[in-house]
A and B are shown apart, each in its own frame.
Chain A
Amino acid sequence: MARTKIYVPRETAAISVGADEVALAIAQAAKKAGADIELIRNGSWGASWLEPLVEVEVDGARIAYANVAASEIQSLFEADLLKGGPHERRLGPTVEIPYLINQDRWTFWRCGLIDPLSVEDFELHQGFKALSKALAEGAESVLDAVMASGLRGRGGAGFPTGIKWRTVADAPGEQKYIACNADEGDSGTFSDRILMESDPMGLIESMAIAGFAVGANKGYIYLRSEYPLTHSILSRAIATARDAGWLGDNIKDSGFDFDIELHLGAGSYVCGEETAMLESLEGKKGIVRFKPPLPALEGLFGKPTVVNNVVTLASVANIVNMGGERYAGMGIDRSKGTLAFQLAGNIKRGGLVEKSFGITLRELIDDFGGGTASGRPIKAVQVGGPLGAYIPAEQLDTPLDYEAFIGIGAMVGHGGIVVFDDTSNMAQLARFAMEFCAVESCGKCTPCRIGSTRGFEVIDRMLAGDNREENYDLLVDLCDTMESASLCAMGGMTPYPVRSVLKYFAEDFSSSEET
Chain B
Amino acid sequence: MARINHETTSKIVADFGGKPEMLVQILQTIVGRFGWIPEETIRQLAEELNLSRADVHGVVEYYHDFRTAEPGNHIVKICQAEACQAMGSRKLTDYAKRTLAMSLHDTENDITLEPVYCLGNCALSPAVMINGKTHGRVDEARFNELLDDMRGSD
Which residues of A are in contact with B by a Cβ distance under 8 Å?
12-13, 15-17, 48-49, 51, 184-190, 193, 225-229, 263-269, 280-287, 301, 342-347, 350-352, 373, 382, 386, 416, 418-421, 424, 429, 432, 436, 439-440, 442, 514-515
Q: How many Å lie between the Cα of A352 and that of B122 in the bound state?
A: 10
Query: Smallest CB-CB separation from A436: which chain B residue?
Result: B117
Q: Name 13 A/B residue pairs within 8 A (Cβ), A-sorted.
A: A12-B120, A17-B135, A185-B118, A187-B82, A189-B118, A190-B120, A266-B28, A266-B31, A284-B24, A342-B122, A345-B87, A350-B122, A350-B123
When the two chains form their complex, are residues B120 and A280 in contact, meaning their CB atoms are under 8 A apart?
no
CB of B136 closer than 8 Å to a CB of A: yes
Q: What A residues does B124 contact at CB under 8 A? A: 13, 16-17, 48-49, 51, 350
Q: What A residues does B136 contact at CB under 8 A? A: 13, 16-17
When the two chains form their complex, are residues A13 and B117 in contact, meaning their CB atoms are under 8 A apart?
no
Q: How many Å lie between the Cα of A342 and that of B127 in the bound state?
A: 16
CB of B134 closer than 8 Å to a CB of A: yes
CB of B137 closer than 8 Å to a CB of A: yes
Interface residues in B, total, Cβ within 8 A: 44
When the two chains form their complex, are residues B83 and A187 in contact, meaning their CB atoms are under 8 A apart?
yes
When the two chains form their complex, are residues B64 and A16 in contact, meaning their CB atoms are under 8 A apart?
no
CB of B1 closer than 8 Å to a CB of A: no
Which residues of B are in contact with A by a Cβ distance under 8 Å?
19-25, 27-28, 31, 58-59, 62-66, 81-87, 90-91, 116-125, 127, 129, 132-137
Q: How many Å lie between the Cα of A283 and that of B136 in the bound state?
A: 33
Q: A263-B24, A266-B24, A285-B58 are in contact. Are A342 and B117 (CB under 8 A)?
A: no
Query: Smallest CB-CB separation from B49: which chain A residue?
Result: A283
Q: How many Å lie between the Cα of A486 and that of B2 in the bound state?
A: 43
With both chains docked as a complex, state the minimum distance between the C-beta of B68 and any C-beta of chain A, in angstroms: 13
With both chains docked as a complex, state the minimum distance between the C-beta of A74 and any C-beta of chain B, in angstroms: 21
When the two chains form their complex, are residues B23 and A283 in contact, meaning their CB atoms are under 8 A apart?
yes
Give the top 9 A-B pairs by smallest Cβ distance, nearest first: A350-B123, A187-B81, A345-B86, A267-B64, A16-B136, A344-B122, A266-B63, A48-B123, A283-B23
Q: What A residues does B22 contact at CB under 8 A? A: 283
When the two chains form their complex, are residues B62 and A15 in contact, meaning their CB atoms are under 8 A apart?
no
Q: How many Å lie between the Cα of A126 and that of B119 in the bound state?
A: 31
Q: What B residues does A283 contact at CB under 8 A? A: 19-25, 59
